[in-house]
Amino acid sequence: MDKFSVTGSKLREFYSTETKLADVFRDIERELANSEMVVCQYIVNGLALSETDEYKYSEVKLIEVESFEYLVEKTGNLVHKVVGGWLDGLPELIHASEKYSDEVRSGFSKISLKKIYDLVENCQYLINSIDSIRALLGDQASGIIIPWEQTLNNLKMACFESLRCVEQKNNKALADTLEYDLPHNLQILLNHLDKFDAFLFGEQKIENAGRTNKIQQNSTLDRRKSYN
């Protein structure tokens, strides 16, 4: 991963004081795309931006920027890391879903509620990661047929059903969703990602048996909450 830095004054010399960061983001990403590189993260005035921050800061004008940095990596390397991180993390999500199902059956609590919201949020991060990866690769993965849309839609429905059951305080239906629907769709997605990883990276692929359940956290494609 490479890091590039520029002062706010240099940016203002090239653009103008009224230029918004959205324009700078766009120009950088457009230039990098030609080199098969991607931005992992922007750092503005010393603050490392999350995806939410990036959207908010896109409206900031360069007159307010003192320092500007960004981390870049080859698209293939980044995708390989993110997919590998999810291959590590998905068994953890599956186990958590089944465990929380048991907790709901034995007696619902505020602690259980927080865990379920975190679980669903992680599933949503997973969906967003896969959508981002597909957007980055474009037609590069066209040689492999994976029913992404169907699987992701099924996972979205399982997440929606989990939250609906929480709101309706339907513990039985919630426990069933956490025990069957959610882990089932996560397992299918795990199989898809394993196939996808093997197709794209071949010999670079790390065998699942040797994985260490380490969650990657250095990319905007992957921001999960840990269950440790």
Domains in the chain: boundaries: 2-75, 76-210
Supply the pLDDT for residue 135: 84
Task: Give me the pLDDT at residue 111, please.
Answer: 61
13-44, pLDDT tens digit by residue?
Answer: 999 999 999 999 999 999 998 888 999 999 99
Confidence of residue 215 (pLDDT cuts 50, 70, 90): very low
Burial environment of residue 168 by CB neighbours within 10 A (0 to 12, 13 to 18, 19 or more)? exposed
Q: How many CA atoms lie within 13 A of 111 on its CB side?
A: 4
Residue 140 pLDDT: 60
Lowest mean pLDDT among 105-109, 115-119, 130-134: 105-109
Backbone angles phi, psi at 3, to 5 degrees: -120, 130
pTM, full prediction: 0.74
Q: Is the predicted pLDDT of residue 179 greater than 90, yes or no?
A: yes
In this structure, what DSSP letter does residue 41 have? Answer: E
Give tens-digit pLDDT for 139-178: 566 567 889 999 999 999 999 999 999 999 899 999 999 9
Mean pLDDT, residues 185-191 taken together:
97
User: Look-up: residue for tokens 């919201």?
Assistant: 117
- 90 with 189: CB under 8 angstroms? yes
**213 pLDDT band (50/70/90 cuts)?**
very low
- H-state helical runs in 7-143: 8-14, 21-33, 51-57, 75-106, 110-137
Q: Which is more confidently placed, 13 or 213?
A: 13
Question: Which of 38-47, 59-68, 99-108 shows the lowest per-residue confidence on average (mean pLDDT)?
Answer: 99-108
The confidence band for 214, taking pLDDT boundaries of 50, 70 and 90, is very low
pLDDT mean across residues, the chain: 86
Q: Is 175 helix (H, G, I), strand (E, B) or coil?
A: helix
pLDDT classification of 3: cutoffs 50, 70, 90: very high
